[in-house]
Structure 1
Amino acid sequence: MLILTLILGIAYPNFCLAQYYINRPSHNFPEFKFPSENKELPIVFEWKNIQYGFPSEQERQQVLRNGRYNPDSPIPIDIDVYYPPNGGPARHFVTTPRFGQGVPYSLAYVTNVQRENGSEIQAYPSYQWHSSHGANCDGLTSVYRVHIDACGRMWILDSGEIEFVQHCAPQVVVFDLATDQLVHRYRLPESSYKAKVSRFVNIFADIRDPPPKGKCNDVFAYLADPTSKAIVVYDVVGQNSWRIENKFTYPDAKFGTHTVAGESFELLDGPLALAVTPLGLGMRRHLIFHALSNELELAIPLDILNNATKWQGGLSASLSEFVSLGRRGVQCASHAISRRGILFCGFLDPIAIFGWDIRTPYNRQNVQLLALNPDTLQFVSGMKIVQRPADGREELWLLSDRLQKIFAGTIDYREINYRVLRCDVDDLLQGRGCF
């Protein structure tokens, strides 16, 4: 553990979220005890390459011939899981953005059909939503990540790009998972993104009136735009959006080289990971975020973030409101926060999952190793906290994709390259096995 501590090199911050408590209540749940031994995370799905399903064999052969399907082109990026509130099997959703032309659809669910290289996926909500390949902007063009909220809705962030060419305006599309029907759409105005520069890759929808007492109407969605180094705030009720771009949303050139399992690639990306302080902790709520190409963990109060008038000053707007929580000394891709305020993050080196209680300073004493596996956890690009309705317990879901091998051109499709893993949050934190 001492060696890992030295590797991490997490510096003591000047601030922590604890400074922003408002009438902090006493704990009504036991303190977590982090494990002294590393835990393996069970694998739920794994693929050598992604196995697509099609409406018919004729359609499959047609897209193979015209180049719209190249079995070695798709790269899975994200995972989210929906448990029907009244029971029934879980639904597992994955995204495969259209980095190239050979991706037939970019949002899918995992089926029970087993193919040679892994479980077959099928297009969501239907094949027709994706089949125009950017010609019909009422469909879905390229989905990087999604967020399933507590109200049973999937928030989809569609970048509108194929092979980095903008075919449609970026949009937020929302489906009711109980009916698989479209319930909301918002196309970003030109003022909220930079044409030919922006690439929207992550979304977090903060439901401020959640069930069982709320009506799920009061929502702010936060969108990560790492290539133009910005975060976009979308006020759903007000049907308005605004960009936040400043020195805190920029990458750090010293962290532009990303090394995973001995292979490196160059990427200078801004904001990627987004999560908010859970309701009910008695704290001033923040958006906690970081750039992929940076070691800093940062936060901004939601009451400031959600006020459009605070951001009219351009690069200098509300700079004093940003909180520098601390430094990791290494990059982390995705992160997620449990309802009790534990932030999980997948470090690139060591290749591991770490946890931090946001009520404590962000330093090496409080950022604790939870799971370490140099094979199965290579570049965790998707991470979600999912609550099971049957017992209310939370699960941590991960998608790892060996992104470094894709950049380096060393990926071998005879090997397992993509994995979905899960663990019960309390079991992971208490040091019990994941089942």
Structure 2
Amino acid sequence: MALDNWFQNWHPTFFQQPLHHDPIHNSTGKRLKNPTNLLPIYFSLNLLGSEHKNLKGPSKVDAHFPTEWKSKELPFHNFKDDLPGEEYDYSLPLRLSSQPNEHYSSPHVDSSTFEKSIYTKKHHNTDETYEDHHKLKALEITGPFKTWYRWKTLDFAYPSLLERSKAIAKGDFVVENNLPLGIEVYKDRIFMSMPKWKPGVPVTLAQLPRVPKEESPPLMPYPNWDWHSEKSCDLITSVFRMKTDICGRLWVLDSGKISITTEEAKQHCPPKLLIFDLETDELLDKYIFDNSFVKEDSLYSNIIVDLRQGDCHDAYAYMADVWRFGIVVFRLADHHAWRITDHLFYPDPLAASYQLHHLKFEWMDGIFGMALSPEGDFHEDRILYFHPMSSFREFYVKTSYLRSDGDHDDGDAFKIMGESRGPQGHASSSVMNQDGILFYNLVSRDSIGCWDSRKPYKRENLGVVARSRQTLVFPNDIRLDQDKKQSMWIITNRLPYYLIEGLDISRINFRVMSAYTDEAIKGTICDPNVHNKSTYLEPPIDEDCY
């Protein structure tokens, strides 16, 4: 395909980023002219991440480049990962374990009792964590992560066994074709998406209680069964990801595509954005994408929401087209939307080859992971950090540029961040917490990575908070909750196995896990208190293919 012209003029691989300045004003990257449209040439992985805003008002910490560094006492040490068959030096302690909780048990809960009443808001001591208040016990421990749910295969809370049997007989429910991909958490609920990669996926958006009642429960359709049908484009068709906001709304990005990995793949309905009220589960708003935003093979697979100062009306959604390399910006106030493209949204051919354990494959996924910097006193603007899935690099842009509905022809708006993540540095979804720590899923390394945005973006400063070849195989999505003691939530799903050779339904394939963000980074290079003599030195300006 047409990969020749745009990638030979690729940006210089490093940029100077003085310690005490906003990174936006310190780049030597040059923008290419509009590249030739590039169609996806391989099966593509569609995984993504999102942002989390500072829910408590302006940040007490400048999450970008503060003028004063604190706590210089702690020494910095290099820790080498000695897992068999791996050769990555992450320069931090890896607290890795996979320890099942043998005492975990709970009775089966019939789906008919799965009512909204289980999500009733609980009032409790604000200094007490959610886990402590509900006396939760994890199924497994993987470093700082705890496993709350796990499945060999998914099932759904049908109204009756007869309805379930009918769905199976008609091919509406094919057990092995259902795979969870996106995750979101709001108060007492966990939301999961099941895109329609293959036929036989009856529900594309579901919910679970945050307090587990059993290890592998059936999923309850959100908002109810009536919303899940391919008979009308007014209903929910195929969801990859969704995002909650502080105003109690669930923003659902419906790709409209079905049977994506089969010869019958089609754009069954136009992509649309649905906004639900999480207090009533009623639809608040809907936006159907303009035809000009839907290219051949478009796949809208990730969404993040940008609010400022708690203004629920002045909200923007950024939605990524992973296969046709664009971002659609939607402004809630007047339902106006526009599409933005840039060559940095494209996949890097040098990063198209993947290896996950024994599987080797090639994907050409474009812009995928997106994370917003927190609001703060030091910067009125927010920064969108982003990366294509098939890339080892991170990029950024001012959100003021995205939020402007004028011409988007500024050749210097989109920038390259420092060094690459190195070989097999593919990242899917990403989030940045209220303290300016970026977390991202390293899908080719069975790991969760991190970066403290106070420090230059270079491999020495890129940490790993957890890693496991058993419990963290292909961490697909990552989100942040809105608790006072904030947690990151991930879902792992072994997606390449599902797409290439099929899942082994005799083993655990899917997990929902969480970790407190402050505890996860403690003692790693992502901890603001950890540094060495070269931590704050900018990387040299040199060629860095990996």
> TM above 0.5, one fold?
yes
Aligned-partner Cα distance in 2 for 1:335–1:207: 18
What TM-score, normalized by structure 2, do the two folds share? 0.69
Aligned-partner Cα distance in 2 for 1:150–1:366: 31
Aligned-partner Cα distance in 2 for 1:377–1:170: 31
Aligned-partner Cα distance in 2 for 1:121–1:160: 21
State which of 278, 290, 300 in structure 1 corresponds to 2:374.
Answer: 278
Task: State whether residues 384 and 397 of structure 1, in contact with CA within 8 Å, keep that contact through their aligned partners in structure 2.
Answer: yes
Shift of 1:56: 2.2
Task: State whether residues 167 and 173 of structure 2, in contact with CA within 8 Å, keep that contact through their aligned partners in structure 1.
Answer: yes
Q: Which amino acid aligns with 1:107?
A: L
Corresponding position of 2:492:
400
Q: After superposition, give the CA deviation of every residue in 1:26-74 in whole Å (9 maximum; x if it has no partner).
A: 6799799896342422111111011211122222122111111100001
State which of 428, 438, 444 in structure 2 corresponds to 1:333.
Answer: 428
State which of 506, 523, 526 in structure 2 corresponds to 1:414.
Answer: 506
Q: Which amino acid aligns with 1:294?
A: S
Task: State whether residues 271 and 288 of structure 2, in contact with CA within 8 Å, keep that contact through their aligned partners in structure 1.
Answer: yes
Provide closer, same or farther for how the CA distance between residues 142 and 175 of structure 1 changes in structure 2, counting only shifts above 3 A. Answer: same
Aligned-partner Cα distance in 2 for 1:227–1:145: 15
Task: State whether residues 15 and 323 of structure 1, in contact with CA within 8 Å, keep that contact through their aligned partners in structure 2.
Answer: no
Please give the residue correspondences for 1:126-165 in structure 2 after superposition, counting only pairs within 5 Å. 126-130=224-228, 132-133=229-230, 135-163=231-259, 164-165=265-266
Q: After superposition, give the CA deviation of every residue in 1:337-391 in whole Å (9 maximum; x if it has no partner).
A: 1011100011134321111012321101211121111221111111001121xxx
> Does residue 1:241 correspond to 2:342, yes or no?
no
Please give the residue correspondences for 1:255-266 in structure 2 after superposition, counting only pairs within 5 Å. 255-266=351-362
Task: State whether residues 22 and 65 of structure 2, in contact with CA within 8 Å, keep that contact through their aligned partners in structure 1.
Answer: no
Corresponding position of 1:224:
320
Provide closer, same or farther for how the CA distance between residues 24 and 48 of structure 1 changes in structure 2, counting only shifts above 3 A. Answer: closer
Task: State whether residues 336 and 383 of structure 1, in contact with CA within 8 Å, keep that contact through their aligned partners in structure 2.
Answer: yes
State which of 445, 457, 460 in structure 2 corresponds to 1:350.
Answer: 445
User: Tell me, what secondary structure is at the counterpart of 1:387?
Assistant: coil
Corresponding position of 2:403:
306
Higher gyration radius (CA): 2
Corresponding position of 1:172:
273
Q: After superposition, give the CA deviation of every residue in 1:384-404 in whole Å (9 maximum; x if it has no partner).
A: 01121xxx1110100011112
Aligned-partner Cα distance in 1 for 2:162–2:445: 46
Shift of 1:427: 1.0
Task: State whether residues 173 and 200 of structure 2, in contact with CA within 8 Å, keep that contact through their aligned partners in structure 1.
Answer: yes
Q: Which amino acid aligns with 1:71?
A: V
Task: State whether residues 264 and 408 of structure 1, in contact with CA within 8 Å, keep that contact through their aligned partners in structure 2.
Answer: no
> Does residue 1:124 correspond to 2:225, yes or no?
no
> Does residue 1:383 correspond to 2:472, yes or no?
no
Task: State whether residues 13 and 416 of structure 2, in contact with CA within 8 Å, keep that contact through their aligned partners in structure 1.
Answer: no
Q: After superposition, give the CA deviation of every residue in 1:12-38 in whole Å (9 maximum; x if it has no partner).
A: 831558434899766799799896342
Task: State whether residues 300 and 319 of structure 2, in contact with CA within 8 Å, keep that contact through their aligned partners in structure 1.
Answer: yes
Q: Which amino acid aligns with 2:325?
A: K
Shift of 1:137: 1.2
Q: Which protein, 1 or 2, shows the higher relative CO under an 8 Å CA cutoff with sep ≥ 6? A: 2
Shift of 1:264: 2.2
Task: State whether residues 446 and 475 of structure 2, in contact with CA within 8 Å, keep that contact through their aligned partners in structure 1.
Answer: no
Aligned-partner Cα distance in 1 for 2:315–2:162: 43
Aligned-partner Cα distance in 2 for 1:253–1:346: 20
Aligned pairs, how many?
Answer: 399
Please give the residue correspondences for 1:177-216 in structure 2 after superposition, counting only pairs within 5 Å. 177-194=278-295, 196-210=296-310, 215-216=311-312
Long gaps (5+) in structure 2: 1-11, 26-61, 77-91, 97-142, 260-264, 525-546
Task: State whether residues 431 and 478 of structure 2, in contact with CA within 8 Å, keep that contact through their aligned partners in structure 1.
Answer: yes
Aligned-partner Cα distance in 2 for 1:59–1:310: 52
Greater percentage in strand: 1
Corresponding position of 2:169:
65
Q: After superposition, give the CA deviation of every residue in 1:142-171 in whole Å (9 maximum; x if it has no partner).
A: 010011112221110001111131121111
Q: Which amino acid aligns with 1:304?
A: Y
Provide closer, same or farther for how the CA distance between residues 70 and 422 of structure 1 changes in structure 2, counting only shifts above 3 A. Answer: same
User: Tell me, what secondary structure is at the counterpart of 2:461?
Assistant: coil
Q: Which amino acid aligns with 2:23?
A: Q
Task: State whether residues 206 and 219 of structure 2, in contact with CA within 8 Å, keep that contact through their aligned partners in structure 1.
Answer: yes
Instruction: Please tell me the root mean square deviation across aligned C-alpha atoms, in Å.
Output: 2.4
What TM-score, normalized by structure 1, do the two folds share? 0.86
Shift of 1:193: 2.1
Task: State whether residues 441 and 477 of structure 2, in contact with CA within 8 Å, keep that contact through their aligned partners in structure 1.
Answer: no
